[in-house]
Amino acid sequence: MSDTLPSFSLTDAGGNQYSFPTGRPALVCFVKEDCPTCNLVMPVLDAFHRAWGDKADILVLGQTKDGNAVLAERHALAVPILDESACKVSFDNDIETVPTVLWTDGGGAQKHQVIGFAREEWEGLEKQIKDELSASDAGIAWAELPEWRPGCGSKSVDPMVADRLRAEADNSPIRARRIEIAEADDEFEFMFDQGFSDGLPLVPPTPERVLRMLDGTRRGAQEVIAVMPPNMGEVTVEKVAINAVMAGCKPEYMPVIIAAVEAVCTDEFNIHGVNATTMGAAPVMIINGPIRHKLDMNMKLGALGNGNRANATIGRALRLVVRNVGGAKPGGTDRSTLGNPMKFTMCFAEWEERNPWEPLHVERGFKKDDNVVTLFAMTSGPTLIVDQESRAPDQMAGTLGLGLESVFHPKYHGWPIDTVLVVCPEHVDTLMAHGDYTKKRLRERIQEVTKRPLRDMIGNEISGAGLKPEAAVDFPPEKLDSLVPKFLSEDYIHIVVAGSDAGKFSGAFHGWATGEMGSISVSRKIGD
């Protein structure tokens, strides 16, 4: 063997620095404290150091910083143990097993290698060194040692450590495992085959693209921002960046995606339940604040549809993180009966400038200039609410209320179900035609026009949905005649403004179960 080992410089527990190559013969050995075979050979290495330390350097590189001190004390070592806990030297030398011993000349060229412990090989190593140094033997009682012991895996090949080292080798903050594909393979088909995709083509997350994506945030690449159910995968900023690349995002979208991930991973939002329900719930993301304009988000014509990169890819990036880090995939923990197009993406901005009321984030306790993302768990939408005839505010509000009566089912009244009502600008103008028609009044009107007698909620020959007949059999007439509004309270009606100035068509998103047994909407301030 004549390969020259990479140079390195490490320190021992006392802060003394050792550099390689040393200018004279050297024995470089990689060990870790929790390896039995490493413990077996430590007295041998110490004997080498005591016998030949004046003629050669015995460099023991310990892969566990705290463990190095344990080794030194356990074996009463005279040979210093160098701090190789970063494992970079191990990585640079392709060390897969400890102990690994490399015998080199003064220039660092490797002349002999021993991996693990085979007594015959170690005896041969002693003889080679003794002969080259013209020295006496090291006084080791070889017959008292076992004939063979296997080594242990080097810390540098641990998947988590190896990924970090690969990225560091390229002077990069990236830690994710790189996947090499054959030159003739189609990278797009490969990503489909690996299950990374939501069913649409992905942008390959090359290191260069991921690094550019990471430039969109000041947060550290390896910062864990959330734990994503159902697989309880740790969501790092880097993993968000990888999925953002695949979704087609720009770097400046990163803070929004990070805030959205933080929001859906809260216990309140319950992303596991949102994914697992057969009702097909999906996150709906609404953006407020000045960032809407910075990212050129759509809040006007076609705001809830296709055509805008920020709207489409921010929502898709969140869904890909849920899929690829959390593990929620259709047929697995995603159990939606029919599926839901919002599982691809649903993200839009509120047109605050066209909103005569407080925008959504201000209602939820934030300042107007705060950038905020709000997440709702919705099962369907946007469902169109059409009214081109109403001219009076209460008429218009009545139409919006009647349009919401179909949430879940017309017979389901008084349930804890969120709805997001997206009021289009022309409908806003009708509501405000005679003065200040407040959001509170709009919510009250929705509840007024949707009140129905409890008896109408009982399942019958037309539809078995609703209140079970046997549960209502003993209700007094006055209870059956009592009026029940659509929503359990006005707090379940969330109102935003978006859409084109032309067209009297508002929209509604129908919620999933709201509350501790379902999902509670969550808002997060968008950081850097």
User: 267-279, pLDDT tens digit by residue?
Assistant: 999 999 999 999 9
- What pLDDT score does 216 carry? 96
The predicted model gives 131-154 an average pLDDT of 94
315-327 pLDDT tens trace: 999 999 999 999 9
Q: 491 pLDDT exceeds 90?
A: yes
The predicted model gives 88-113 an average pLDDT of 95
pLDDT class of 164 with cuts at 50, 70, 90: low
- What pLDDT score does 1 carry? 45
SS3 content of the chain, % helix, strand, coil (to 5): 35, 20, 45
57-97 pLDDT tens trace: 999 999 998 999 999 999 999 999 999 999 999 999 999 99
- What pLDDT score does 227 carry? 96
The two three-digit tokens of residue 364, written as one number = 């939820």
20-57 pLDDT tens trace: 999 999 999 999 999 999 999 999 999 999 999 999 99
422-439 pLDDT tens trace: 999 999 999 999 989 999
3-state SS, one letter per residue, for 267-335: CCCCHHHHHHCCCCCEEEEEEECCHHHHCCCCCCCCCCCCCCHHHHHHHHHHHHHHHHCCCCCECCCEC
Helix (H) or strand (E) holding 208: helix 207-214
- pTM (2 d.p.): 0.70
- What pLDDT score does 171 carry? 59
Q: What structural domains and CATH numbers belong to the chain?
A: 8-157 (3.40.30.10), 189-450+485-525 (no CATH)
Comparing 21 with 171, which gets the higher pLDDT? 21
pLDDT class of 208 with cuts at 50, 70, 90: confident
Q: 170 pLDDT exceeds 80?
A: no
Distance from chain centroid for Cα 236: 6
Short-list 415, 338, 340, CA closest to 379: 340
The predicted model gives 206-228 an average pLDDT of 92
Q: 2 pLDDT exceeds 60?
A: no
- What pLDDT score does 206 carry? 87
447-487 pLDDT tens trace: 999 999 999 999 999 999 999 999 999 999 999 999 999 99
pLDDT class of 290 with cuts at 50, 70, 90: very high
> Do 459 and 411 form a contact (C-beta atoms < 8 A)?
yes
- What pLDDT score does 166 carry? 67
Comparing 168 with 119, which gets the higher pLDDT? 119
CA gap 453, 469 in Å, rounded: 15
Short-list 98, 95, 88, 123, CA closest to 110: 95
DSSP state of 520: -
Q: 500 pLDDT exceeds 60?
A: yes
- What pLDDT score does 175 carry? 75
